[in-house]
């Protein structure tokens, strides 16, 4: 029989996609007010893996990844996603989204994104939010699944996540003494 055990806290990571650099900076500032001090902000990257958002948000989209010093409990992810959905709504203009904010978390064994869409690899978490099992950690790196989005399969993204995982493990070690 397995005994229930609380999981380790996890490292919150948020993707911010927008066409306007100023809006990205404002969004990151708002995220910091909600989730605490960022400990990593990526360089501005072109978001050219898909044109999924182009009709609503325009072309030449940019992306930044932001992680936060404060670790969260995994079961906080639905509240985080609802918060980021609220921020997206606040920044809407003329009915169109101007920013896409996708939260997830880095854990020892996997990388999870939050989504409002269920599927076979997306267990329900509550409050209308599902966990998208995006990457697994195996053989010293994150590895994609057949359903992993192309931007999360990219070497640059996996390298960044591996670095954040190292930082996260140091945080866990320090917290445990």
- Can you read off the two tokens belonging to residue 157? 């993204």
Position 2 in a domain = no
- Whether 1 is in a domain gets the answer no
Q: Is residue 119 part of a domain?
A: yes
Whole-angstrom distance, CA of residue 78 vs CA of residue 97: 20
Other beta carbons within 10 Å of 177: 4
Q: Can you give the pLDDT at residue 118? A: 96
Judge whether 150 lies within some domain: yes
Residue 50: what pLDDT? 87
Cα separation, 151 vs 157, whole angstroms: 7
**Residues lower than pLDDT 50 in the chain:** none
- Nearest one of 138, 142, 121 to 130, comparing CA atoms: 121
The reply to whether 68 falls in a domain is yes
Total tally of structural domains belonging to the chain: 1
Written in H, E and C, the secondary structure of the chain is: CCCCCCCCCEEEEEEEEECCHHHHHHHHHHHHHHHCCEEEECCCEECCCCCCCHHHHCCCCEEEEEEECCCECHHHHHHHHHHHHHHHHHCCECCECCEEEEEEEECCCEEEEEECCCECCECEEECCEEEEEEEEEECCEEEECCCCCHHHHCHHHHHHHHHHHHHHHHHHHHHHC
Question: What pLDDT sits at residue 54?
Answer: 87
Residue with tokens 């996260």: 168
Domain membership of residue 4 (yes or no) is no
Structure confidence at residue 169 (pLDDT): 98
| 3-class secondary structure per residue, 144-172 | ECCCCCHHHHCHHHHHHHHHHHHHHHHHH
Six-digit token string for 47: 């978001």
Residue numbers of the domain that contains 60: 11-176
- Residue 41 falls inside a structural domain: yes
What pLDDT is stored for residue 130 in this prediction? 98
In a domain, 128, yes or no: yes
| pTM for the whole structure | 0.96
């Amino acid at each position: 029989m397995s005994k229930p055990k609380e999981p380790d806290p996890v490292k919150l990571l948020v993707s911010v996609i927008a066409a306007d650099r100023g809006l990205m900076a404002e969004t990151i500032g708002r995220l910091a007010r909600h989730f605490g001090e960022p400990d990593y902000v990526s360089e501005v990257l072109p978001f050219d893996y898909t044109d999924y958002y182009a009709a609503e948000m325009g072309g030449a989209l940019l992306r930044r990844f932001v992680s936060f010093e404060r670790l969260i409990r995994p079961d906080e992810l639905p509240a985080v996603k609802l918060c980021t959905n609220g921020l997206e709504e606040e920044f809407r203009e003329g009915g169109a989204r101007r920013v896409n904010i996708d939260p997830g978390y880095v854990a020892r064994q996997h990388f999870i994104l939050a989504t409002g869409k269920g599927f076979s690899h997306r267990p329900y978490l509550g409050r209308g939010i599902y966990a998208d099992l995006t990457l697994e950690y195996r053989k010293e790196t994150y590895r994609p699944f057949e359903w992993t989005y192309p931007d999360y399969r990219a070497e640059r993204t996996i390298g960044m996540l591996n670095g954040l995982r190292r930082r996260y493990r140091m945080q866990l070690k320090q917290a445990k003494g």
